[in-house]
């Protein structure tokens, strides 16, 4: 019985192209107690593989986090299967703002220790004791309240290309880093301020809201469904859109345009740009922002060294990579030393004049 993906990304892309069907990109999550994640994982793979589902799905004892695509004409079958699982019945599905048939090219269902890595080892922490969910209307009202502190729970390379106006954006590479930073910086405001959080689709805020309640914050709110659901509600209800720029997403699209604002710059030339690229050099694959002009000049590479390597015949590139691990630069996500116009968000939390919050 097949319990893993057998096709390469290239082979899958060719099949999708040949099928000529529109695919639907969506995401969902649910915190729930799963007794046997491995068995649950296998059941999901068997069923979803038969439905031609592709995507990245994490399963753990604490729940499920799914980002995927499927043929649009099989959505009802997929939804029926979800509804057959008690803790997923009538689950909210975040439908992508921008659709792309190639958003995912493999089905990966993996068992993890947690669906959102948090670095916590506290048995008294209850992830289900979450903050209050708010919709787009309530969110817009809250963030105009002078008694509100708005916090972006995403990583620096996500908020760099798009964020809500006046949001505090901690300078972090991972979610787990953000929790102690925010707690420490806002510890004086646990009693009297409204802590409002947002992220891409809601999963990180769900855990963060429970964490900050656990740490004594009295008024904790989260944007239900994250930026994705907010955008849908803004468009459907003709509301004021308080988001600027693009929403970073973790699939082949890398982002969805929410507004026409370009708030970032090319990391190589400094001109306005907000398109993330992975360095074309297979030995690098650094994630960074690159404008169209630099992409053409640099062959999609992040440095002249990578460009030179990328221009070599494939077998020579392969020989150079043999026995070599990825450069540590790949983990810097746009902050490698050789990028002259990389965004430096360090101390952005402190620089937002927290003294003004005390007034």
d(CA 319, CA 305): 16
As a whole number of angstroms, the distance between CA 209 and CA 323 comes to: 43
The one catalytic residue in 199, 279, 294, 302 is: 199
Q: Residue 345: how many CB atoms within 10 A of its CB?
A: 17
Token pair listed for 283: 């030995």
Integer Cα distance of 291 and 52 in angstroms = 35
Q: What are phi and psi of 120, to 5 degrees?
A: -90, 145
Residues comprising the chain, all counted: 359
Contact 59, 107 (CB under 8 A): no
Question: What sign has the CA pseudo-torsion 13, 307, 174, 145?
Answer: negative
Contact yes or no for 347/139 (Cβ under 8 A) = no
Token pair of 51, please?
A: 């439905």
Q: Pick from 332, 345, 351, 349: which is nearest to 156 by CA?
A: 345
What does the DSSP 8-state code read for residue 218?
Answer: S
Q: For residues 226 and 202, give the distance between their C-alpha atoms in angstroms, rounded to a whole number.
A: 4
Contact 142, 148 (CB under 8 A): yes
Distance CA 135, CA 229 (A): 9
CB count, 10 Å around CB of 188? 11
Query: Is 266 one of the catalytic residues?
Result: no
SS3 assignment for 74-138: HHHHHHHHHHCCHHHCCCCCEECCCCCCCCCCCEEEEECCCCCCCCCCCCCCCCCCCCEEECHHH
- Catalytically active residues are 199
């Amino acid at each position: 019985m097949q319990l893993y993906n057998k096709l390469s990304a290239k082979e899958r892309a060719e099949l999708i192209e040949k099928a000529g069907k529109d695919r639907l990109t969506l995401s969902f999550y649910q915190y729930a107690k799963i007794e046997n994640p491995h068995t649950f994982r296998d059941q999901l793979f068997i069923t979803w593989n038969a439905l031609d589902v592709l995507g990245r799905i994490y399963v753990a004892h604490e729940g499920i986090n799914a980002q995927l695509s499927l043929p649009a004409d099989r959505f009802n079958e997929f939804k029926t299967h979800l509804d057959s699982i008690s803790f997923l019945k009538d689950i909210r599905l975040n439908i992508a703002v921008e659709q792309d048939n190639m958003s995912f090219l493999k089905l990966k269902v993996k068992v993890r220790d947690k669906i959102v890595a948090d670095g916590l080892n506290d048995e008294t922490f209850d992830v289900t004791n979450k903050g209050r969910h708010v919709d787009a209307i309530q969110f817009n009202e809250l963030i105009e309240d002078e008694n509100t502190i708005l916090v972006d729970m995403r990583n620096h390379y996500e908020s760099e290309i798009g964020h809500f106006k006046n949001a505090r954006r901690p300078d972090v590479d991972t979610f787990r880093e953000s929790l102690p930073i925010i707690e420490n910086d806002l510890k004086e405001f646990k009693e009297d301020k409204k802590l409002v959080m947002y992220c891409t689709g809601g999963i990180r805020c769900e855990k963060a809201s429970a964490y900050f309640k656990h740490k004594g914050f009295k008024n904790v709110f989260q944007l239900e469904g994250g930026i994705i659901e907010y955008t849908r509600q803004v468009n459907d209800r003709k509301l004021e859109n308080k988001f600027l720029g693009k929403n970073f997403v973790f699939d082949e699209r890398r982002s969805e345009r929410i507004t026409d604002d370009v708030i970032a710059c090319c990391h190589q030339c400094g001109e306005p740009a907000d398109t993330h690229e992975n360095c074309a050099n297979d030995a690098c694959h650094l994630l960074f922002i690159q404008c169209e002009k630099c992409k053409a000049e640099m062959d999609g590479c992040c440095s002249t060294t990578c460009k030179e390597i990328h221009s070599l015949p494939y077998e020579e590139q392969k020989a150079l990579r043999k026995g070599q691990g990825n450069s540590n630069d790949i983990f810097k996500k746009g902050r490698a030393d050789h990028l002259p116009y990389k965004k430096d968000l360090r101390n952005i939390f402190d620089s937002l004049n927290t003294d003004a919050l005390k007034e």
